[in-house]
Protein backbone atom coordinates (compact mmCIF):
# COMPACT_ATOMS: atom_id res chain seq x y z
CA UNK A 1 0.00 0.00 0.00
CA UNK A 2 1.24 3.53 -0.78
CA UNK A 3 2.26 5.43 2.33
CA UNK A 4 0.60 8.81 2.96
CA UNK A 5 2.94 11.65 3.96
CA UNK A 6 0.22 12.86 6.37
CA UNK A 7 0.06 9.60 8.32
CA UNK A 8 2.62 8.12 10.68
CA UNK A 9 3.63 4.62 9.56
CA UNK A 10 3.48 1.67 11.98
CA UNK A 11 6.71 1.38 13.95
CA UNK A 12 7.45 5.15 13.76
CA UNK A 13 9.03 6.49 16.95
CA UNK A 14 7.00 9.52 18.11
CA UNK A 15 8.61 10.90 21.25
CA UNK A 16 9.01 7.83 23.43
CA UNK A 17 6.14 5.92 21.81
CA UNK A 18 6.11 3.40 18.98
CA UNK A 19 3.19 4.09 16.64
CA UNK A 20 0.78 1.20 15.93
CA UNK A 21 -2.41 1.02 13.90
CA UNK A 22 -4.68 3.96 12.99
CA UNK A 23 -7.64 4.19 15.39
CA UNK A 24 -9.66 7.16 14.16
CA UNK A 25 -9.65 10.46 12.33
CA UNK A 26 -11.27 13.59 13.80
CA UNK A 27 -11.76 17.02 12.28
CA UNK A 28 -8.33 18.26 13.40
CA UNK A 29 -6.49 15.16 14.45
CA UNK A 30 -5.52 11.59 13.72
CA UNK A 31 -5.51 9.04 16.52
CA UNK A 32 -3.15 6.03 16.57
CA UNK A 33 -2.55 3.10 18.91
CA UNK A 34 0.96 3.14 20.39
CA UNK A 35 3.14 1.38 22.93
CA UNK A 36 6.11 2.59 24.96
CA UNK A 37 9.48 2.21 23.22
CA UNK A 38 11.77 -0.47 24.66
CA UNK A 39 13.77 2.28 26.33
CA UNK A 40 10.84 3.60 28.33
CA UNK A 41 8.60 0.56 28.80
CA UNK A 42 8.20 -0.24 32.46
CA UNK A 43 5.67 -0.88 35.17
CA UNK A 44 4.78 2.82 35.42
CA UNK A 45 3.95 3.07 31.68
CA UNK A 46 0.71 1.67 30.30
CA UNK A 47 1.50 -1.03 27.72
CA UNK A 48 -0.88 0.50 25.19
CA UNK A 49 -1.98 4.12 24.65
CA UNK A 50 -3.73 6.30 22.08
CA UNK A 51 -1.73 9.10 20.40
CA UNK A 52 -3.80 12.05 19.22
CA UNK A 53 -1.70 13.86 16.61
CA UNK A 54 -2.77 17.41 15.71
CA UNK A 55 -0.73 18.79 12.79
CA UNK A 56 -0.21 22.55 12.58
CA UNK A 57 2.10 22.78 9.53
CA UNK A 58 0.70 24.55 6.47
CA UNK A 59 -2.33 25.93 8.34
CA UNK A 60 -3.34 29.57 8.28
CA UNK A 61 -2.17 31.30 11.50
CA UNK A 62 -5.74 31.47 12.88
CA UNK A 63 -6.33 27.76 12.30
CA UNK A 64 -2.96 26.87 13.80
CA UNK A 65 -3.61 28.97 16.88
CA UNK A 66 -7.03 27.29 17.23
CA UNK A 67 -5.36 23.91 17.35
CA UNK A 68 -2.74 25.07 19.82
CA UNK A 69 -5.50 26.52 22.03
CA UNK A 70 -7.55 23.35 21.75
CA UNK A 71 -4.56 21.17 22.73
CA UNK A 72 -3.74 23.55 25.54
CA UNK A 73 -7.30 23.18 26.87
CA UNK A 74 -7.12 19.38 26.74
CA UNK A 75 -3.80 19.39 28.60
CA UNK A 76 -4.97 21.93 31.16
CA UNK A 77 -8.20 20.07 31.82
CA UNK A 78 -6.36 16.72 32.03
CA UNK A 79 -3.85 18.20 34.48
CA UNK A 80 -6.44 19.82 36.73
CA UNK A 81 -9.43 17.52 36.72
CA UNK A 82 -8.36 13.87 36.37
CA UNK A 83 -11.21 11.47 37.13
CA UNK A 84 -12.08 7.84 36.26
CA UNK A 85 -14.91 9.10 34.02
CA UNK A 86 -12.59 11.32 31.94
CA UNK A 87 -10.09 9.75 29.56
CA UNK A 88 -6.66 9.96 31.20
CA UNK A 89 -4.02 12.21 29.63
CA UNK A 90 -0.56 10.72 30.16
CA UNK A 91 1.62 13.41 28.55
CA UNK A 92 1.82 15.81 25.63
CA UNK A 93 4.69 16.84 23.37
CA UNK A 94 5.54 18.52 20.08
CA UNK A 95 6.44 16.01 17.37
CA UNK A 96 9.86 16.35 15.84
CA UNK A 97 9.56 14.75 12.39
CA UNK A 98 11.94 16.57 10.01
CA UNK A 99 11.49 13.70 7.54
CA UNK A 100 7.73 14.45 7.37
CA UNK A 101 7.23 18.19 6.91
CA UNK A 102 3.41 18.00 7.16
CA UNK A 103 3.68 16.44 10.62
CA UNK A 104 6.78 18.18 11.93
CA UNK A 105 5.73 20.36 14.89
CA UNK A 106 2.38 18.56 15.35
CA UNK A 107 1.02 18.53 18.88
CA UNK A 108 0.70 15.02 20.29
CA UNK A 109 -1.51 14.06 23.23
CA UNK A 110 -0.77 10.67 24.78
CA UNK A 111 -3.97 9.24 26.24
CA UNK A 112 -5.21 6.15 27.93
CA UNK A 113 -6.56 3.89 25.14
CA UNK A 114 -10.25 3.00 24.99
CA UNK A 115 -11.83 0.04 23.23
CA UNK A 116 -14.60 1.76 21.30
CA UNK A 117 -16.83 4.82 21.13
CA UNK A 118 -20.47 5.05 22.15
CA UNK A 119 -21.20 5.85 18.48
CA UNK A 120 -19.81 2.44 17.49
CA UNK A 121 -21.85 0.78 20.23
CA UNK A 122 -25.01 2.62 19.07
CA UNK A 123 -24.35 1.40 15.53
CA UNK A 124 -24.13 -2.21 16.68
CA UNK A 125 -27.00 -1.87 19.21
CA UNK A 126 -26.62 -1.07 22.92
CA UNK A 127 -27.59 -4.12 25.02
CA UNK A 128 -30.66 -3.30 27.08
CA UNK A 129 -29.02 -4.19 30.36
CA UNK A 130 -26.15 -1.74 29.76
CA UNK A 131 -28.13 1.35 28.78
CA UNK A 132 -28.75 2.82 32.23
CA UNK A 133 -25.19 2.16 33.36
CA UNK A 134 -23.77 3.93 30.29
CA UNK A 135 -25.92 7.00 30.86
CA UNK A 136 -25.03 7.04 34.55
CA UNK A 137 -21.32 6.94 33.59
CA UNK A 138 -21.70 9.91 31.22
CA UNK A 139 -23.58 11.79 33.92
CA UNK A 140 -20.82 11.06 36.46
CA UNK A 141 -18.24 12.47 34.04
CA UNK A 142 -20.34 15.59 33.45
CA UNK A 143 -20.99 16.07 37.18
CA UNK A 144 -17.23 15.99 37.82
CA UNK A 145 -16.49 18.41 34.96
CA UNK A 146 -19.19 20.85 36.05
CA UNK A 147 -18.15 20.71 39.70
CA UNK A 148 -14.60 21.45 38.55
CA UNK A 149 -15.85 24.54 36.72
CA UNK A 150 -15.71 23.25 33.12
CA UNK A 151 -18.27 22.70 30.36
CA UNK A 152 -17.47 19.96 27.83
CA UNK A 153 -19.25 21.85 24.99
CA UNK A 154 -18.94 19.01 22.46
CA UNK A 155 -20.65 16.07 24.16
CA UNK A 156 -21.72 13.47 21.58
CA UNK A 157 -21.46 9.67 21.24
CA UNK A 158 -18.12 9.98 19.35
CA UNK A 159 -16.66 11.63 22.45
CA UNK A 160 -17.89 9.02 24.91
CA UNK A 161 -15.31 6.24 25.01
CA UNK A 162 -15.72 2.80 26.53
CA UNK A 163 -12.83 1.07 28.25
CA UNK A 164 -12.12 -2.59 27.73
CA UNK A 165 -13.81 -3.33 31.05
CA UNK A 166 -16.92 -1.46 29.84
CA UNK A 167 -16.12 1.68 31.86
CA UNK A 168 -17.38 4.99 30.47
CA UNK A 169 -14.95 7.86 29.81
CA UNK A 170 -15.62 11.29 28.35
CA UNK A 171 -13.00 12.47 25.85
CA UNK A 172 -12.10 15.20 23.37
CA UNK A 173 -11.87 18.32 25.49
CA UNK A 174 -10.77 20.49 22.56
CA UNK A 175 -13.80 22.77 23.01
CA UNK A 176 -14.03 22.44 26.80
CA UNK A 177 -14.57 25.82 28.40
CA UNK A 178 -13.66 26.97 31.86
CA UNK A 179 -16.47 28.83 33.58
CA UNK A 180 -16.10 32.28 35.03
CA UNK A 181 -19.12 32.41 37.31
CA UNK A 182 -22.14 30.93 35.54
CA UNK A 183 -20.80 30.75 32.00
CA UNK A 184 -17.77 30.79 29.75
CA UNK A 185 -17.07 31.62 26.12
CA UNK A 186 -16.20 29.19 23.35
CA UNK A 187 -15.56 29.25 19.63
CA UNK A 188 -18.89 28.94 17.76
CA UNK A 189 -18.13 25.32 17.01
CA UNK A 190 -19.67 22.05 18.17
CA UNK A 191 -21.78 19.39 16.53
CA UNK A 192 -25.14 20.55 15.15
CA UNK A 193 -27.13 17.55 16.37
CA UNK A 194 -26.20 18.24 20.01
CA UNK A 195 -26.65 22.04 20.15
CA UNK A 196 -29.47 23.35 22.40
CA UNK A 197 -32.08 25.73 20.94
CA UNK A 198 -30.46 28.87 22.38
CA UNK A 199 -27.14 28.13 20.65
CA UNK A 200 -28.78 28.50 17.22
CA UNK A 201 -29.50 32.15 17.91
CA UNK A 202 -26.68 33.00 20.35
CA UNK A 203 -24.95 36.30 19.56
CA UNK A 204 -21.32 35.91 18.57
CA UNK A 205 -19.21 38.34 20.58
CA UNK A 206 -15.51 39.05 20.44
CA UNK A 207 -14.89 36.20 22.93
CA UNK A 208 -17.08 33.70 21.03
CA UNK A 209 -20.47 32.33 22.11
CA UNK A 210 -21.68 31.91 25.67
CA UNK A 211 -21.68 28.30 26.94
CA UNK A 212 -23.07 26.99 30.21
CA UNK A 213 -23.34 23.56 31.86
CA UNK A 214 -26.93 23.41 30.54
CA UNK A 215 -25.41 22.97 27.03
CA UNK A 216 -23.98 19.61 28.13
CA UNK A 217 -27.27 18.66 29.82
CA UNK A 218 -29.12 19.20 26.52
CA UNK A 219 -26.59 16.97 24.71
CA UNK A 220 -27.08 14.36 27.46
CA UNK A 221 -30.85 14.43 26.78
CA UNK A 222 -30.23 13.72 23.08
CA UNK A 223 -27.85 10.87 23.99
CA UNK A 224 -30.37 9.30 26.42
CA UNK A 225 -32.92 9.24 23.59
CA UNK A 226 -30.38 7.79 21.14
CA UNK A 227 -29.36 5.05 23.58
CA UNK A 228 -32.95 3.86 24.06
CA UNK A 229 -34.28 4.53 20.56
CA UNK A 230 -31.68 2.68 18.47
CA UNK A 231 -29.61 5.80 17.79
CA UNK A 232 -32.53 8.04 16.70
CA UNK A 233 -32.65 11.74 17.65
CA UNK A 234 -35.90 13.02 19.19
CA UNK A 235 -35.80 15.76 16.52
CA UNK A 236 -36.82 14.43 13.14
CA UNK A 237 -35.12 15.44 9.90
CA UNK A 238 -32.99 13.94 7.17
CA UNK A 239 -29.98 16.21 7.75
CA UNK A 240 -28.39 17.92 10.78
CA UNK A 241 -29.70 21.29 9.48
CA UNK A 242 -33.26 19.91 9.21
CA UNK A 243 -33.02 18.46 12.70
CA UNK A 244 -31.63 21.82 13.87
CA UNK A 245 -34.71 23.53 12.41
CA UNK A 246 -36.89 21.10 14.41
CA UNK A 247 -34.89 21.97 17.58
CA UNK A 248 -35.53 25.68 16.98
CA UNK A 249 -39.26 25.12 16.36
CA UNK A 250 -39.45 23.25 19.66
CA UNK A 251 -37.37 25.91 21.44
CA UNK A 252 -39.76 28.60 20.26
CA UNK A 253 -42.77 26.62 21.51
CA UNK A 254 -44.06 25.89 18.01
CA UNK A 255 -43.71 22.09 18.31
CA UNK A 256 -43.93 19.64 21.22
CA UNK A 257 -41.15 17.28 22.24
CA UNK A 258 -41.79 13.93 20.54
CA UNK A 259 -39.93 11.00 21.99
CA UNK A 260 -39.83 7.45 20.67
CA UNK A 261 -42.08 4.99 22.56
CA UNK A 262 -39.06 2.72 22.98
CA UNK A 263 -37.72 5.11 25.65
CA UNK A 264 -38.90 3.73 29.04
CA UNK A 265 -40.92 6.13 31.28
CA UNK A 266 -38.12 6.74 33.81
CA UNK A 267 -35.58 7.68 31.10
CA UNK A 268 -38.23 9.58 29.12
CA UNK A 269 -38.84 11.87 32.12
CA UNK A 270 -35.13 12.36 32.64
CA UNK A 271 -34.51 13.08 28.93
CA UNK A 272 -37.46 15.50 28.85
CA UNK A 273 -35.93 17.50 31.73
CA UNK A 274 -32.52 17.52 30.01
CA UNK A 275 -34.30 18.72 26.87
CA UNK A 276 -36.21 21.55 28.56
CA UNK A 277 -36.52 24.18 25.80
CA UNK A 278 -34.78 27.09 27.53
CA UNK A 279 -31.55 27.41 29.45
CA UNK A 280 -33.51 28.69 32.47
CA UNK A 281 -35.80 25.63 32.60
CA UNK A 282 -32.90 23.25 32.01
CA UNK A 283 -30.55 24.87 34.53
CA UNK A 284 -32.38 23.35 37.52
CA UNK A 285 -31.49 19.87 36.23
CA UNK A 286 -27.82 19.72 37.11
CA UNK A 287 -25.68 16.66 36.43
CA UNK A 288 -25.56 16.08 40.21
CA UNK A 289 -29.37 16.17 40.56
CA UNK A 290 -29.75 13.82 37.56
CA UNK A 291 -27.26 11.42 39.14
CA UNK A 292 -29.30 11.41 42.37
CA UNK A 293 -32.44 10.58 40.39
CA UNK A 294 -30.67 7.80 38.49
CA UNK A 295 -29.41 6.28 41.75
CA UNK A 296 -32.90 6.49 43.32
CA UNK A 297 -34.44 4.96 40.15
CA UNK A 298 -31.89 2.15 40.18
CA UNK A 299 -32.69 1.35 43.82
CA UNK A 300 -36.43 1.22 43.02
CA UNK A 301 -35.89 -0.95 39.94
CA UNK A 302 -33.64 -3.41 41.78
CA UNK A 303 -36.19 -3.74 44.59
CA UNK A 304 -38.78 -4.62 41.94
CA UNK A 305 -36.44 -6.90 39.99
CA UNK A 306 -37.19 -10.61 40.23
CA UNK A 307 -33.95 -11.69 38.55
CA UNK A 308 -31.19 -12.01 41.11
CA UNK A 309 -28.34 -12.17 38.58
CA UNK A 310 -28.74 -8.72 37.01
CA UNK A 311 -25.09 -7.83 37.62
CA UNK A 312 -23.84 -10.95 35.94
CA UNK A 313 -26.19 -10.49 33.00
CA UNK A 314 -24.84 -6.96 32.54
CA UNK A 315 -21.27 -8.13 32.47
CA UNK A 316 -22.04 -10.89 29.99
CA UNK A 317 -23.92 -8.60 27.63
CA UNK A 318 -21.25 -5.96 27.61
CA UNK A 319 -18.66 -8.67 27.07
CA UNK A 320 -20.55 -9.84 24.00
CA UNK A 321 -20.77 -6.36 22.54
CA UNK A 322 -17.13 -5.60 23.20
CA UNK A 323 -16.10 -8.95 21.74
CA UNK A 324 -18.24 -8.35 18.67
CA UNK A 325 -16.98 -4.82 18.11
CA UNK A 326 -13.32 -5.08 18.97
CA UNK A 327 -12.52 -8.68 18.21
CA UNK A 328 -11.81 -8.86 21.92
CA UNK A 329 -8.16 -7.89 21.45
CA UNK A 330 -6.92 -6.59 24.75
CA UNK A 331 -3.73 -5.05 25.94
CA UNK A 332 -0.88 -6.79 27.64
CA UNK A 333 -0.69 -6.53 31.38
CA UNK A 334 -4.46 -6.29 31.65
CA UNK A 335 -4.60 -8.31 34.85
CA UNK A 336 -3.52 -5.90 37.50
CA UNK A 337 -0.59 -5.60 39.77
CA UNK A 338 -2.89 -5.33 42.72
CA UNK A 339 -2.59 -3.27 45.85
CA UNK A 340 -3.03 -6.44 47.94
CA UNK A 341 -0.01 -8.72 48.22
CA UNK A 342 -0.12 -11.35 45.43
CA UNK A 343 -0.87 -14.79 46.72
CA UNK A 344 0.08 -16.73 43.61
CA UNK A 345 1.68 -15.61 40.36
CA UNK A 346 0.67 -17.67 37.33
CA UNK A 347 2.35 -17.46 33.94
CA UNK A 348 -0.22 -18.00 31.21
CA UNK A 349 0.54 -20.95 28.91
CA UNK A 350 -1.02 -21.40 25.47
CA UNK A 351 -0.54 -24.96 24.21
CA UNK A 352 -1.07 -23.79 20.63
CA UNK A 353 2.57 -23.33 19.51
CA UNK A 354 1.68 -20.78 16.83
CA UNK A 355 0.48 -18.58 19.70
CA UNK A 356 3.65 -18.70 21.80
CA UNK A 357 5.28 -15.72 20.05
CA UNK A 358 4.80 -12.88 22.54
CA UNK A 359 5.48 -9.98 20.17
CA UNK A 360 2.26 -9.91 18.13
CA UNK A 361 -0.48 -10.30 20.73
CA UNK A 362 -2.64 -11.57 17.91
CA UNK A 363 -6.32 -11.41 18.95
CA UNK A 364 -6.70 -14.97 17.59
CA UNK A 365 -4.18 -16.11 20.20
CA UNK A 366 -5.83 -14.41 23.16
CA UNK A 367 -7.31 -16.57 25.91
CA UNK A 368 -10.51 -15.91 27.78
CA UNK A 369 -11.04 -15.70 31.52
CA UNK A 370 -14.34 -17.21 32.60
CA UNK A 371 -17.00 -15.42 34.59
CA UNK A 372 -18.27 -18.68 36.07
CA UNK A 373 -16.01 -21.78 36.12
CA UNK A 374 -18.97 -24.08 36.57
CA UNK A 375 -20.71 -23.01 33.34
CA UNK A 376 -19.68 -23.82 29.76
CA UNK A 377 -16.50 -21.98 28.72
CA UNK A 378 -18.11 -20.09 25.81
CA UNK A 379 -17.83 -16.45 24.62
CA UNK A 380 -20.94 -15.63 26.67
CA UNK A 381 -19.11 -16.72 29.80
CA UNK A 382 -15.88 -14.71 29.54
CA UNK A 383 -14.94 -11.23 30.78
CA UNK A 384 -13.66 -8.57 28.31
CA UNK A 385 -10.11 -8.87 29.68
CA UNK A 386 -8.03 -11.29 27.56
CA UNK A 387 -4.64 -12.82 28.30
CA UNK A 388 -1.82 -14.09 26.10
CA UNK A 389 0.91 -16.73 26.40
CA UNK A 390 3.55 -15.47 28.84
CA UNK A 391 1.35 -12.92 30.66
CA UNK A 392 1.62 -13.10 34.44
CA UNK A 393 -1.62 -12.96 36.42
CA UNK A 394 -2.27 -12.93 40.15
CA UNK A 395 -4.38 -15.78 41.52
CA UNK A 396 -6.17 -15.62 44.86
CA UNK A 397 -7.46 -19.15 45.25
CA UNK A 398 -8.29 -22.29 43.28
CA UNK A 399 -11.35 -24.39 42.53
CA UNK A 400 -10.45 -28.07 42.13
CA UNK A 401 -13.77 -29.18 40.68
CA UNK A 402 -14.98 -26.72 38.04
CA UNK A 403 -16.05 -27.62 34.52
CA UNK A 404 -13.41 -29.88 32.83
CA UNK A 405 -11.31 -28.14 30.17
CA UNK A 406 -9.10 -29.91 27.60
CA UNK A 407 -6.25 -28.00 25.92
CA UNK A 408 -4.84 -28.35 22.37
CA UNK A 409 -2.44 -31.09 23.59
CA UNK A 410 -5.27 -33.14 25.14
CA UNK A 411 -4.37 -32.18 28.72
CA UNK A 412 -7.56 -32.21 30.83
CA UNK A 413 -8.22 -30.51 34.16
CA UNK A 414 -11.19 -29.51 36.28
CA UNK A 415 -9.01 -27.08 38.25
CA UNK A 416 -9.51 -23.31 37.84
CA UNK A 417 -7.68 -20.35 39.37
CA UNK A 418 -9.49 -17.18 40.41
CA UNK A 419 -7.39 -14.23 39.15
CA UNK A 420 -7.73 -10.56 39.93
CA UNK A 421 -8.62 -8.06 37.21
CA UNK A 422 -7.72 -4.39 36.84
CA UNK A 423 -9.13 -2.23 39.59
CA UNK A 424 -12.57 -0.91 38.63
CA UNK A 425 -13.30 -3.96 36.43
CA UNK A 426 -16.68 -5.56 36.71
CA UNK A 427 -16.48 -8.34 37.83
CA UNK A 428 -13.31 -7.74 39.86
CA UNK A 429 -11.99 -11.28 39.34
CA UNK A 430 -12.32 -14.02 36.72
CA UNK A 431 -11.26 -17.64 36.24
CA UNK A 432 -8.28 -19.10 34.38
CA UNK A 433 -8.50 -22.83 33.57
CA UNK A 434 -5.52 -24.68 35.05
CA UNK A 435 -4.65 -26.11 31.61
CA UNK A 436 -3.71 -22.52 30.65
CA UNK A 437 -0.76 -22.39 33.05
CA UNK A 438 2.01 -24.75 34.12
CA UNK A 439 2.19 -23.21 37.60
CA UNK A 440 0.61 -24.87 40.62
CA UNK A 441 1.12 -22.48 43.56
CA UNK A 442 -0.15 -23.70 46.94
CA UNK A 443 -3.35 -21.68 47.00
CA UNK A 444 -6.34 -22.02 49.31
CA UNK A 445 -9.56 -23.36 47.85
CA UNK A 446 -12.03 -20.68 46.73
CA UNK A 447 -15.50 -20.45 48.21
CA UNK A 448 -18.13 -22.15 46.08
CA UNK A 449 -18.72 -19.71 43.14
CA UNK A 450 -22.40 -20.67 43.05
CA UNK A 451 -22.73 -19.34 46.60
CA UNK A 452 -21.10 -15.92 45.86
N1 LIG B 1 -8.19 7.64 23.88
C2 LIG B 1 -8.70 7.04 22.79
N3 LIG B 1 -8.75 5.69 22.72
C4 LIG B 1 -9.27 5.08 21.64
N5 LIG B 1 -9.78 5.74 20.57
C6 LIG B 1 -9.76 7.08 20.57
C7 LIG B 1 -9.23 7.80 21.68
N8 LIG B 1 -9.37 9.13 21.43
C9 LIG B 1 -9.94 9.23 20.22
N10 LIG B 1 -10.18 8.01 19.69
C11 LIG B 1 -10.78 7.71 18.38
O12 LIG B 1 -10.36 8.68 17.44
C13 LIG B 1 -11.46 9.42 16.91
C14 LIG B 1 -11.09 10.89 16.72
O15 LIG B 1 -10.70 11.45 17.97
P16 LIG B 1 -11.17 12.89 18.47
O17 LIG B 1 -12.64 12.96 18.36
O18 LIG B 1 -10.59 13.17 19.79
O19 LIG B 1 -10.54 13.85 17.37
P20 LIG B 1 -10.99 15.32 17.00
O21 LIG B 1 -10.17 15.76 15.85
O22 LIG B 1 -10.93 16.15 18.23
O23 LIG B 1 -12.49 15.12 16.57
P24 LIG B 1 -13.59 16.24 16.28
O25 LIG B 1 -13.85 16.11 14.83
O26 LIG B 1 -14.76 15.81 17.14
O27 LIG B 1 -13.03 17.55 16.71
C28 LIG B 1 -12.60 9.19 17.92
O29 LIG B 1 -13.86 9.26 17.33
C30 LIG B 1 -12.29 7.78 18.42
O31 LIG B 1 -12.80 6.83 17.49
Based on the fold, state whether residues 104 and 124 are members of the same structural domain. Answer: no
Whether 45 shows a pLDDT value over 60: the answer reads yes
Q: Please say if the pLDDT value at position 214 is more than 90.
A: yes
Q: Say whether 52 counts as a known binding-site residue.
A: yes
Share of the chain above pLDDT 70, in %: 82
Helices marked H in 175-286 — which ranges?
Answer: 213-228, 240-251, 265-274, 279-283
Beta strands in 343-414 (DSSP E): 345-347, 367-370, 382-387, 392-399, 405-406, 412-413
The residue with greater pLDDT, 154 or 347, is 154
Ligand 1 first shell, C-beta below 6 A: 23-24, 26-29, 31, 50, 52, 87, 111, 113-114, 117, 158-159, 161, 171-172, 174
Question: What's the confidence (pLDDT) of residue 256?
Answer: 92
> What sign does the CA torsion over 90, 135, 142, 123 have?
positive
Count other Cβ atoms within 10 Å, centred on residue 322: 22
Res. 426 pLDDT band, cuts 50 70 90: confident
- The answer, yes or no, to whether residue 233 has pLDDT greater than 70, is yes
Residue whose CB lies within 8 A of the most ligand 1 atoms, among 17, 23, 47, 110, for a mutation test:
23
Residues 123 and 108 in one domain: no
* Closest to 74 measured CA to CA, from 27, 111, 122, 105: 111
Give the start-end residues of each E strand in 142-191: 150-151, 160-162, 168-170, 177-178, 184-186
Co-location of 78 and 90 in the same domain: yes
Q: How far is the CA of 289 from the centre of ligand 1 (A)?
A: 29
Indicate whether 231 belongs to any domain.
yes
DSSP SS3 for 445? strand
> What is the secondary structure of 326-344 as a DSSP string?
HTT---TT-S---SSPPS-
Active site residues: 154
120 CA: nearest ligand 1 atom: 31
Residue nearest to atom 17 of ligand 1 (CA): 26
| Domain-embedded: residue 313 | no
User: In this structure, are 96 and 136 located in the same domain?
Assistant: no
Report the atom number in ligand 1 closest to the C-alpha of 24.
12
Q: What is the C-alpha separation between 7 and 101, in angstroms, rounded? A: 11
| 31 CA to centre of ligand 1 in angstroms | 6
Provide the whole-model pTM.
0.67
Q: How far apart are CA 207 and CA 201, in angstroms?
A: 16
The domain boundary, picked from 59, 92, 113, lies at 113
Ligand 1 centroid distance, CA of 370 (Å): 31
Tell me the CATH number at 49. 3.30.200.20
In angstroms, what is the span from residue 108 Cα to ligand 1's centroid?
13
**Most informative mutation of 25, 29, 48 for ligand 1 (most atoms within 8 A of CB):** 29
Measured in Å, residue 51 CA sits from the centre of ligand 1 at 10
- Indicate whether 345 and 204 sit together in one domain: no
Asked, for residue 255, whether it belongs to a domain, the answer is yes
Using DSSP's 3-state secondary structure scheme, residue 29 falls into coil
Average pLDDT (15-33) is: 91
Q: How confident is the model at residue 181, as a pLDDT?
A: 67
CA 188 to chain centre: 27
Residue where a domain terminates, one of 81, 113, 145: 113
Structural domain boundaries enclosing 22: 1-113
Q: What is the average per-residue pLDDT within 160-178?
A: 89
Domain assignment present for residue 37? The answer is: yes
Q: In terms of C-beta density within 10 A (0-12 exposed, 13-18 middle, 19 or more buried), how is residue 339 classed?
A: exposed
At 42 the pLDDT is 64
- Would residue 280 count as lying in a domain? yes
Residue 412's pLDDT band (cuts 50, 70, 90): confident
Q: What is the mean pLDDT of residues 207-228?
A: 92
Q: Rounded to the nearest whole angstrom, what is the distance from the C-alpha of residue 408 to the centroid of ligand 1?
A: 40
What is the mean pLDDT of the segment spanning 69-82? 74
**Angle at CA 119, nearest 5°, toward 118 and 125?**
85
Give the domain CATH number at 237: 1.10.510.10
Asked whether residue 178 falls in the same domain as residue 70, the answer is: no
**Which uninterrupted H or E stretch holds 109?**
strand 107-112
pLDDT at 452: 60
35 bridge partner residues = 18
In a domain, 442, yes or no: no
Asked if this assembly's ipTM is beyond 0.90, the reply is yes
Ligand 1, residue 112: give the atom nearest the CA: 1
Q: What is the mean pLDDT of the chain?
A: 82
**pLDDT higher than 90, residue 366:** no
The ligand 1 atom nearest the CA atom of 25: 14
Residue 367 in any domain: the answer is yes
Q: Residue 397 Cα, ligand 1 centroid: separation in angstroms?
A: 40
Q: Are residues 205 and 95 in the same domain?
A: no
Q: Mark which of 113, 133, 151 sits at the end of a domain.
A: 113
Which ligand 1 atom is nearest residue 158's CA? 29
Is residue 395 within 8 Å of 441, Cβ to Cβ? Answer: yes
**Contacts of residue 127, Cβ cutoff 8 Å, sequence gap at least 6:** 317, 318, 320, 321
Same domain, 286 and 300: yes
Q: Provide the number of structural domains found in the chain.
A: 3
Residue 314, domain member (yes or no)? no
Q: Which atom of ligand 1 lies nearest, measured to the CA of 70?
A: 22
378-388: pLDDT as tens digits: 878 888 788 88
Choosing from 66, 87, 158 the residue with most ligand 1 atoms within 8 A of its CB, the one to mutate for a pocket test is: 158
**CA-based nearest residue to 167, from 315, 32, 298, 295:** 315
Residue minimizing CA distance to atom 19 of ligand 1: 26
**Does 229 share its domain with 266?**
yes
- The alpha-helical segments, DSSP class H, found in 391-445 are none
Residues 342 and 278 in one domain: no
**Averaged pLDDT, 94-112:** 89
Amino acid sequence: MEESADLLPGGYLAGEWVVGELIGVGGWSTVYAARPSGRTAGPDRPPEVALKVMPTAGLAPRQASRIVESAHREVELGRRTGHPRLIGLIESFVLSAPDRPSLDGAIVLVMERAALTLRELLDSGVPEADRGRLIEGICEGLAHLHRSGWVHADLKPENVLLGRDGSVKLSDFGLATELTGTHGYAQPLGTLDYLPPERWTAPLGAQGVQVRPSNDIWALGIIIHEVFASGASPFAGATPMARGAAVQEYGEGRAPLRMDHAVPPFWRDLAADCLAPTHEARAEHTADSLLDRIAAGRATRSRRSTWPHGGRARAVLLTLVLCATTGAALSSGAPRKDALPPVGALTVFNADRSCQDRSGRDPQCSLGLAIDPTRPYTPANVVPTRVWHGDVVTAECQLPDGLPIVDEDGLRSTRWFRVRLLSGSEPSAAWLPAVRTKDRPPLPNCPDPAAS
